[in-house]
Amino acid sequence: MAQARKVATYVMVIFVLYTIINQPARAADLVQVGFVGISNAAKSIGQFMHDLVN
């Protein structure tokens, strides 16, 4: 099982590097979408906690 996880990790790293090298603009867009999603989630949690206290 550990060997399969290791191989899957290597395949994912190779895919990410391939995408960054061949399509840097697309890779940057994907990273931006990820950070926007994390930011929106943090804002929603903050709003929920604020409303919960009030």
pLDDT at residue number 19:
87
Q: Look at residues 41, 39, 42 and name the one whose alpha carbon lies nearest to residue 31.
A: 39
Per-residue model confidence as pLDDT tens digits over 7-49: 999 999 999 899 889 999 988 998 999 999 999 999 999 999 9
Give residue 8's pLDDT: 94
What is this structure's pTM? 0.62
Is residue 26 a contact partner of residue 19, using CB atoms and an 8 Å limit?
yes
**Pure H helices in the chain:** 2-22, 24-53
User: CB of 31 within 8 A of CB of 37?
Assistant: no
pLDDT reported for residue 10: 95
Q: Are 48 and 41 in contact (CB under 8 A)?
A: no
- Evaluate whether 49 touches 42 at the Cβ level (below 8 Å): no
What pLDDT was estimated at residue 36?
A: 97
